[in-house]
């Protein structure tokens, strides 16, 4: 009977399936490794002359994406003009204001330009350039809301943006005026919270809100600018002093030759505001089909980045998870302890916390930069791998213990008995969970937008910052995600049927 258990044709077929699975897994891993090594070699050659600059692309007129999805605005034109004047190159990292601050502190980027107000508190952490713009803080409300002054905020909620001067100002007066704050990571969600009536008002830099109101934002400014401050280009304190000196020298040259005034007028002059308002009022451009037609290339790149990140992440997560899962079933208490601990830690950590720790925390400790894509893959490997490890362990343990005992009674060592008897049966139980985890990984890539990976969700944020069509764009992106998940679900059902047969 034991002999039949080990050597029936059914077992041999399952063994062949397992072999093919690991062959394909190894092939994908090899392709991923080679691609990583050879990708974009020109960046390595130009590394000495290129500075990585973080920014927030939801901050018009200072930074936003235009109709061609190119990053433009006062800050973008200014840093590029300075770079041209001083003879260096810049690589722009669109990762949001709060994430940009952390990236500079961690040494992941060389500098930051995103309408950052120079304050004494920030000077403890950053070295700032010569001021390049001045702006105050104002309050904006939904027209007709009845809120016209600060005293009207009592008992209400106010929307603020993480890490900004507007947030600092709101927090400094909320006890005095009796309101609560709700925090967002980007301007568009902050504005939408006010427009939908969830928040009574928001606080933002006057230059940004005045531009938005004049170009169709749909809010109304009800206070005069206060806490006026200067914007500055920032680097980590004590670091990149050469870059800071180049910026100051270049800015002085731009002001002297008139380029600076031309940049300011380009985005704040009457013609610029009129053109932006006319574009925002166009109806055909902002229908569902119009948005798809205008942004199809950008959305496609976002889809490809999402799929590539998912595939690479699940390949490494599978390898990591299988190893952790197998450690959990070997007859060794140390190995089992390691497996249990790893699964407990990485399943317990929220994905966003893990991503920020790897992208910003690790470089702070080691002084070594971690590329955003690599940080994303490591995050998915650890988090998704922990879940895979848990169901690999569970799948093996669910196989009747008599199978292992029968194999061992024939003299097979533990490893061989596991490979030839237990694993082929366990894999059939694991396949549905594995496919489900693949779908979860696809959705989890959206969280990695916080470290600046231009996957589908981050792409949507950038598009919305330009056209302010949040509802329509998020509807489009939701449909794209559903289509991808539907395709994966159909593939998973096909694989399950093949396995059962």
**Superfamily, domain 134-230:** Periplasmic binding protein-like II (3.40.190.10)
Q: In this predicted structure, what is the pLDDT of residue 270? A: 61
Q: In this predicted structure, what is the pLDDT of residue 271? A: 57
Yes or no: say if 127 and 233 are a contact pair by the CB < 8 Å rule.
no
Residue whose C-alpha is closest to residue 239's, from 424, 363, 66, 382: 363
Encoded tokens for 351:
């994905």
Q: In this predicted structure, what is the pLDDT of residue 2? A: 42
pTM for the full model?
Answer: 0.68
Q: How many CA atoms lie within 13 A of 181 on its CB side?
A: 18
Please state, in angstroms and rounded to a whole number, the distance separating the CA atoms of residues 214 and 198: 23
Q: Does domain 50-130+232-281 have CATH number 3.40.190.10?
A: yes
Encoded tokens for 152:
């009207």
How does 174-203 read in b/e, with b if 16+ C-beta sit within 10 Å? eeebebeeebbbbbbbbbbbbbeeebbbbb
Tens of pLDDT along the chain (501 residues) come to: 444 443 444 444 444 544 544 454 455 445 444 444 444 433 333 344 789 999 887 788 888 877 777 788 899 999 999 999 999 999 988 887 888 888 898 888 999 998 888 988 899 999 999 999 988 899 999 998 889 999 999 999 999 988 788 898 999 999 999 999 999 887 888 888 999 889 999 999 888 888 888 877 788 999 998 888 889 999 999 989 999 999 999 999 999 999 998 988 888 766 555 555 555 554 445 677 877 877 788 888 889 999 999 989 988 998 898 889 888 888 788 988 998 999 999 988 899 899 988 888 888 787 778 888 899 999 999 999 999 888 888 777 766 666 666 666 766 766 666 666 666 666 666 666 777 788 888 888 888 888 878 888 888 877 776 666 777 888 889 999 999 888 888 877 787 777 666
Domain locations along the chain: 50-130+232-281, 134-230, 289-500
Q: Whose structure tokens read 């140390």?
A: 334
Q: In this predicted structure, what is the pLDDT of residue 14? A: 44
Yes or no: say if 309 and 457 are a contact pair by the CB < 8 Å rule.
no
Please state, in angstroms and rounded to a whole number, the distance separating the CA atoms of residues 273 and 476: 28
Q: In this predicted structure, what is the pLDDT of residue 421? A: 63
Encoded tokens for 365:
């400790």
**CB atoms near residue 443 (< 10 Å):** 14
Encoded tokens for 280:
């925002």
Name the percent of the chain in helix, strand, coil, to the closest 5. 65, 10, 20
Domain 289-500, what architecture? Answer: Orthogonal Bundle (1.10)
**CB atoms near residue 265 (< 10 Å):** 12
Domain pair 50-130+232-281 / 289-500, same fold:
no
């Amino acid at each position: 009977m034991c002999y039949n258990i080990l050597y029936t044709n059914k077992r041999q077929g399952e063994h062949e399936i397992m072999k093919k699975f690991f062959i394909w897994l190894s092939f994908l891993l090899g392709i991923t490794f080679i691609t990583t090594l050879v990708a974009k070699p020109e960046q390595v050659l130009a590394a000495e002359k290129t500075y990585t600059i973080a920014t927030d692309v939801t901050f018009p007129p200072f930074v936003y994406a235009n109709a061609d999805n190119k990053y433009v605005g006062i800050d973008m034109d200014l840093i590029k003009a300075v770079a041209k004047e001083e003879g260096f190159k810049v690589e722009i990292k669109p990762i949001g204001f709060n994430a940009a601050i952390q990236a500079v502190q961690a040494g992941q980027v060389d500098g930051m330009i995103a309408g950052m107000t120079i304050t004494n508190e920030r000077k403890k952490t950053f070295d700032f350039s010569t001021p390049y713009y001045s702006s105050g803080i104002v309050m904006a409300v939904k027209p007709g809301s009845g809120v016209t002054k600060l005293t009207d905020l009592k008992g209400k909620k106010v929307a603020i943006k993480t890490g900004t001067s507007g947030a600092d100002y709101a927090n400094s007066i909320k006890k005095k005026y009796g309101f609560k704050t709700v925090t967002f990571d980007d301007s568009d969600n902050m504005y939408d919270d006010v427009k939908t009536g969830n928040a009574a008002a928001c606080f933002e830099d006057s230059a940004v809100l005045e531009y938005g109101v004049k170009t169709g934002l749909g809010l109304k400014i009800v206070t005069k600018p206060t806490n006026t401050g200067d914007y500055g280009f920032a680097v980590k304190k004590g670091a990149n002093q050469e870059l800071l000196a180049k910026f100051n020298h270049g800015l002085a040259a731009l002001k002297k030759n008139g380029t600076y005034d031309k940049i300011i007028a380009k985005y704040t002059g009457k013609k610029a505001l009129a053109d932006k308002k006319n574009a925002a009022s166009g109806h055909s451009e902002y229908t569902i089909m119009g948005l798809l037609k205008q942004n199809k290339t950008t959305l496609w790149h976002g889809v490809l980045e999402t799929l590539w990140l998912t595939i690479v992440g699940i390949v490494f997560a599978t390898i990591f998870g299988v190893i952790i899962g197998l450690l959990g079933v070997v007859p060794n208490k140390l190995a089992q302890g390691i497996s249990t601990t790893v699964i407990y830690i990485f399943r317990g950590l929220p994905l966003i916390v893990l991503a920020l720790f790897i992208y910003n925390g690790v470089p702070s400790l080691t002084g070594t930069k971690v590329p955003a894509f690599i940080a994303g893959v490591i995050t998915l490997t650890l988090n998704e791998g922990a879940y895979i490890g848990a169901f690999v362990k569970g799948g093996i343990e669910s196989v009747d213990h008599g199978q292992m005992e029968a194999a061992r009674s024939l003299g097979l060592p533990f490893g061989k008995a596991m490979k030839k008897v237990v694993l082929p049966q366990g894999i059939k139980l694991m396949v549905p969970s594995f496919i489900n985890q693949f779908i979860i990984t696809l959705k989890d890539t959206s969280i990695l937008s916080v470290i600046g990976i231009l996957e589908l969700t981050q792409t949507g944020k950038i598009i919305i910052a330009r056209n302010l069509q949040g509802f329509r764009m998020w509807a489009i992106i939701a449909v794209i995600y559903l289509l991808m998940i539907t395709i994966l679900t159909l593939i998973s059902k096909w694989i399950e049927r093949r396995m059962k047969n």
